[in-house]
Chain A
């Protein structure tokens, strides 16, 4: 070993041992954000970061007199990438709070990870697999956004009663979030008397849908599609190219602005007009508080999406919850963050679509909108307001035990016939 190398090693050791590195300065709050900044859900991750930055800028990046320093943990929508990023945020960046992740399966992994890291508080981003806060939740995991089942509130009934669809087939991304959305849709659609005659599943990241399109049955009224990100863009284009035999009913992310903004061909736009969906965001709701949210989003991100998407709203809500709770305890994270967590559990977030409070599993309620795709004057698509359902709970208005009997979201939860 050369003397230079010894010197270098000694330098590193000295730096690591110095108090400035082993302990964070008390005045600064270190917050980590997990977001899918690589892979098929990159657009959602970028939107998520906008939500965090919007909430923080409204608080001038300061909470209880302490500056908030953000650390980003990029993931690629796989559970192991989320765990690796979270571990790096804790061990290397020494964050005290983690906000995120984006994707359902990432969220389930993170809940288990939270149990092994009781010293850190985890506040969800938009991960929407219901079980994260349903069976066996973690004490230090909080979710102020709605889950994937809740996001579909009202859609099944609307498709049956107003659109008069009786027989549908489904094409859904095959992972926890897709199963949750499918459960939310079929819960109401089956109860209303509709039939789901065929269920097609496809892995996240599918690009070529031609053979799945060939499998769609002919004698149906509509196709329920819940595909996320680039999958949705690919499907819609190929479906229209193949002649688009029946209209669509869309899952939340399928007509999200991260998808609608990518459809630039007039024929695609024409076809998507009138497609019903349900979502925690809506682009033209006249509510004053909501419009203020949309306006400040547009002002802060002129090159962002035309209107905030569900990922933006979810991260915004969860970040705001953190800011409010930290303010309530004056930035006190001592005692294993006990006071902070207590405050978090009782925080009522002043959300853009109404107040959000947590249930006993630390899961928030939400306002959900039934929407319909419409075109603005310049031709670009947006989700128009049809109906609002305030105060949707995790058990969809049913008694908890009865809801639990429906089963954990999986491919064949709630069948009809």
Chain B
């Protein structure tokens, strides 16, 4: 009985820490969609690109914090390039923009295989974060996963501050609600788009480095990450950062409980949640509705 409770708590913690990673990736994705109405399907390769760059920085400098920042910046540069060189040439044509991002992701994924090869890499984490810590009721638990949880909460808080307490955040929120009105009020909407594209890609790049430290980086991770982000934001509601957090927790818990109690059908639960949300509340739990 006691072992059962311990197992249950461990799996819950696993679900929450996995949710932390999902939130980091999905927050940028949902932000970009909320404002631009573009499903940026290149989000997964930005994640992978940030992870690979972070890996190289870590190898060269042995500085994990620097790897996270540079990985994020690399992601932001990539996202900006895609936005300025491709998406901004077809403003307002959401479907065409989405298709263009698919092309970008296929090409970029192959280029990354050419550059970094097919082997999986792992970004080394500082020694203090490696190993396990004894927790009450749970027993030994990897320190890094706890740090991951804290990091995601921190990022979520900063995002909330930015959206609710700054001028840029005000413009973004206004843009999510009514883009035309925002433009009519004299705001340079395309400039806000650029800022959000960079911010979303920065978050993806940072998530890549963190994800590449918690799990391995390998070809194919881009589509896996993209798929889980899609599910998270569909469940949470496209465009809502709070929704991304709730969606990530639901998906993370479903995945880990599925894997732990019914390993064979583990993948089904995630999609069952998605189907249920789409059936009951198609705009997502926190979505504003079309």
Q: Are B120 and A211 in contact (CB under 8 A)?
A: no
Q: Within 8 Å of chain B (Cβ to Cβ): is A395? A: no
| Cβ contacts B232-264/A at 8 Å (1 or 0 each) | 000000000000000000000001110110011
Q: Are B130 and A267 in contact (CB under 8 A)?
A: yes
- CB contacts (< 8 Å) of B117 on chain A: these are 43, 46
Q: Within 8 Å of chain B (Cβ to Cβ): is A237? A: yes
A201 to B262, CA, bound (A): 10
Q: Are B259 and A40 in contact (CB under 8 A)?
A: no
Q: Per a CB cutoff under 8 Å, which of A46, A76, A214, A230 touches B216? A: A230
CB distance from B220 to the nearest CB of A (A): 4
CB distance from B29 to the nearest CB of A (A): 18
A214 to B144, CA, bound (A): 16
The contact size tier of chain B is: 35 or more
Q: Within 8 Å of chain A (Cβ to Cβ): is B150? A: no
A241 to B142, CA, bound (A): 6
Q: Per a CB cutoff under 8 Å, which of A37, A174, A242, A243 touches B118? A: A37
Q: Within 8 Å of chain B (Cβ to Cβ): is A220? A: no
Once A211-B11, A230-B120, A241-B130 are accepted as A-B contacts, the answer to whether A40 and B260 lie under 8 Å apart by CB is: no
- CB contacts (< 8 Å) of A407 on chain B: these are none
Q: Across the two chains, which residue of chain A brings its CB closest to B6?
A: A214
A-B contact count (CB 8 A): 116
Once A42-B113, A211-B260 are accepted as A-B contacts, the answer to whether A241 and B132 lie under 8 Å apart by CB is: yes
Which positions 103-162 of chain B face chain A at CB distance < 8 Å?
109-110, 113, 117-122, 124, 130-132, 140-142, 144-145
Q: Within 8 Å of chain B (Cβ to Cβ): is A342? A: no
Q: Across the two chains, which residue of chain B brings its CB closest to A237?
A: B122
CB distance from B256 to the nearest CB of A (A): 5
Q: Are B7 and A43 in contact (CB under 8 A)?
A: no
| Cβ contacts A27-46/B at 8 Å (1 or 0 each) | 00000000001111011111
Q: Are A215 and B132 in contact (CB under 8 A)?
A: no
Ordered by A's residue number, 19 sampled pairs between the chains whose C-beta atoms are within 8 Å are A38-B113, A39-B220, A40-B218, A43-B117, A46-B118, A200-B263, A201-B264, A203-B267, A207-B216, A208-B259, A210-B256, A211-B14, A214-B7, A214-B11, A234-B215, A241-B131, A241-B142, A262-B120, A267-B130
Chain B residues within CB distance 8 Å of chain A: 7, 10-11, 14-15, 17-18, 109-110, 113, 117-122, 124, 130-132, 140-142, 144-145, 215-216, 218-221, 224, 255-257, 259-260, 263-264, 266-267
